[in-house]
Structure 1
Amino acid sequence: MRQTPCRKTRLCFIIDKLALRSGGAERVLIETANALYDHGYAVEIVTYEPRGKRPFYPLRKGIILSNIRPRDHNRSQVWRVMSRVRSMLHRNRFFIPGLSHLQWWSQNGSFRRRLAAHIDATAPDVAIAFLPPAVTALGHAHFSHQTRRFASLHNVPEQDFDNPGRWDPNPVDRKLRRAALAHFDGIGILLPEFRDWFDDELQERLIVMPNAVHPVDPACLSAAKRKKRVISVGRLADVKQHRLLIEAWSHLKDDFPDWICEIYGVGPLESALKEQIEQLQLDETVILRGATNAIEKEYLSAKILAHPAEFEGFGLVITEALAHGLPVVGFEDCSGFNFIVHDQVSGLFVSAAGDRAKNLSGSLAKLMRDPALCTALGDAGLKEIERFSPQSILALWEQAIQGTDQRLVLEA
Structure 2
Amino acid sequence: MSLSPSSPVLDPKAKRIAFVIEKLAQRSGGAERVLIETANALSRRGHHVEIISHEYRGVPPFYATAPGVILSNLRMPQQTRWKQLLHPFREAMHRLPDLPVFDRVVWLSRNGAFWRRLQLHLRAVRPDVVIGFMPPAISAVALAKTDHPMRRVASMHNAPEQDFHNPARWDPSRLDRRRRLALMSKIDKIAVLLPEYRDWYPANLQDRVLVLPNAVTPIAPEVLAASRRGHTIISVGRLATVKRHGMLIDSWSQLAERFPDWKLKIFGEGPIKAELEAQIRARGLEGKVILMGHRSDIAQYYLTASILAHPAEFEGFPLAVTEALASGLPVVGFEDCSGLNRLVQDGVSGRLVSAEGDRAENFAKALGQLMTDAELRLSLGAAGPSSVAAYAPDKVIDMWEEMLFGP
Report the alpha carbon displacement of residue 327 of structure 1 after superposing the two structures with TM. Answer: 0.6
1:171 aligned residue:
174
2:400 aligned residue:
397
What is the letter of the counterpart of residue 231 of structure 1? I
2:6 aligned residue:
none
Q: Give distance in 1, aligned partners of 2:11 and 2:145.
A: 32
1:120 aligned residue:
123
1:19 maps onto 2:22 in alignment: no
What is the letter of the counterpart of residue 160 of structure 1? D
Q: Give distance in 2, aligned partners of 1:146 and 1:69.
A: 25
Q: TM-score, normalised by structure 2?
A: 0.93
1:341 maps onto 2:336 in alignment: no
Q: TM-score, normalised by structure 1?
A: 0.92
Contact persistence 1:51–1:67 (CA under 8 A): no
Given the alignment, which residue of 137, 141, 145 partners 2:140? 137
Given the alignment, which residue of 379, 382, 388 partners 1:379? 382
SS in 2 for 1:339: helix
Q: Give distance in 2, aligned partners of 1:279 and 1:71.
A: 40
1:68 aligned residue:
74
Structure 1 unaligned residues grouped into runs of 5+: 405-412
1:55 maps onto 2:66 in alignment: no
Given the alignment, which residue of 311, 323, 327 partners 2:326? 323
RMSD: 2.0
2:269 aligned residue:
266
1:152 aligned residue:
155
Deviation by residue 1:71-124 (Cα, 9 ceiling, x = unmatched): 656x5x43432234314654xx44475322122212221211111111111111
Q: Give distance in 2, aligned partners of 1:393 and 1:300.
A: 24
1:283 aligned residue:
286
What is the letter of the counterpart of residue 82 of structure 1? L
Contact persistence 1:236–1:265 (CA under 8 A): yes
SS in 1 for 2:49: strand
**Aligned positions of 1:245-260 closer than 5 A:** 245-260=248-263
Report the alpha carbon displacement of residue 352 of structure 1 after superposing the two structures with TM. Answer: 1.4
Q: Give distance in 2, aligned partners of 1:78 and 1:397.
A: 43
Report the alpha carbon displacement of residue 277 of structure 1 after superposing the two structures with TM. Answer: 2.4
2:184 aligned residue:
181
1:85 aligned residue:
89
Report the alpha carbon displacement of residue 400 of structure 1 after superposing the two structures with TM. Answer: 1.1
Q: Give distance in 2, aligned partners of 1:170 and 1:86.
A: 16
SS in 1 for 2:35: helix
Q: 1:334 to 1:71 in 2, by over 3 A?
A: closer
2:303 aligned residue:
300
Contact persistence 1:262–1:289 (CA under 8 A): yes
1:409 aligned residue:
none
Q: 1:71 to 1:26 in 2, by over 3 A?
A: closer
Report the alpha carbon displacement of residue 232 of structure 1 after superposing the two structures with TM. Answer: 0.7
SS in 2 for 1:338: helix
Report the alpha carbon displacement of residue 216 of structure 1 after superposing the two structures with TM. Answer: 2.1
Q: Give distance in 2, aligned partners of 1:21 and 1:279.
A: 30
Contact persistence 1:13–1:45 (CA under 8 A): yes
Q: Give distance in 1, aligned partners of 2:11 and 2:237.
A: 46
What is the letter of the counterpart of residue 83 of structure 1? H
Report the alpha carbon displacement of residue 152 of structure 1 after superposing the two structures with TM. Answer: 0.1
Contact persistence 2:190–2:208 (CA under 8 A): yes
Contact persistence 1:8–1:40 (CA under 8 A): yes
Aligned length: 399
Given the alignment, which residue of 362, 366, 385 partners 2:365? 362
Deviation by residue 1:229-285 (Cα, 9 ceiling, x = unmatched): 111111111111112211211221222121111111122222222333233332242
Report the alpha carbon displacement of residue 127 of structure 1 after superposing the two structures with TM. Answer: 0.5
